[in-house]
Amino acid sequence: MTNLPSTELGAVRRLQVLAASIPGAAYDETVVQAPFESLWAFVSDMDTSMPRLFPNFRTWRTVAHHGDHLQAAAVGYLGQRGVFDVTLKPGLCIMQDRRFIGGIAAQPGVTGTRFALLAAPRGPARHLGAPLRPLAQRLLRRSARRLGTHLTT
């Protein structure tokens, strides 16, 4: 019965599912005028891309890489340090330390590459997610636009 109709969500819808399932998550999506391959190559170079995509990171240093799992040491603008566990697959990236959850998704679209970002507080701060969501969404939108500009200039 393998010929019955079935469907695949794609990376962006998967990130939407996670955003709807993680309490307090902020989510934003845009279309970037760049090929998926070059966009995802940029994202996958996380030591460079993370400080550009998420304004809370000053530096990001990948310290271990096994298959689609990474570990990274990040430093924030206020000097806070975090050890991140990351799942990095083609088109989808999820990361977390004990205070923060981040997500990135991309897939080829009709007029460009659909690109989506997720951010949510984790742990004791998770209750701040809902009240801070409008602010987080504005920051994500700004990050996505910055990426678009970076990749097309």
Residues lying near other proteins in the complex (CB under 8 A) are found at 1-9, 13-14, 16-18, 20-22, 85-87, 92, 94, 96, 101, 103, 120, 122-123, 126
Q: Residue 13 CB, nearest distance to other proteins (Å)? A: 5
In the complex with other proteins, which residue's Cβ is closer, 45 or 68?
68
In the complex with other proteins, which residue's Cβ is closer, 4 or 78?
4
Greatest distance between any 2 Cα atoms in the chain: 56
70-74: long-range pairs with CB below 8 Å, 24+? 70/46, 72/46, 72/47, 74/50
In the complex with other proteins, which residue's Cβ is closer, 34 or 104?
104
Buried b (16+ CB within 10 A) or exposed e, 2-12: eeeeeeeebbb
In the complex with other proteins, which residue's Cβ is closer, 137 or 151?
137
Query: Dihedral sign, CA of 35, 40, 46, 47?
Result: negative
Q: Residue 120 CB, nearest distance to other proteins (Å)? A: 8
Q: Residue 46 CB, nearest distance to other proteins (Å)? A: 15
In the complex with other proteins, which residue's Cβ is closer, 127 or 145?
127
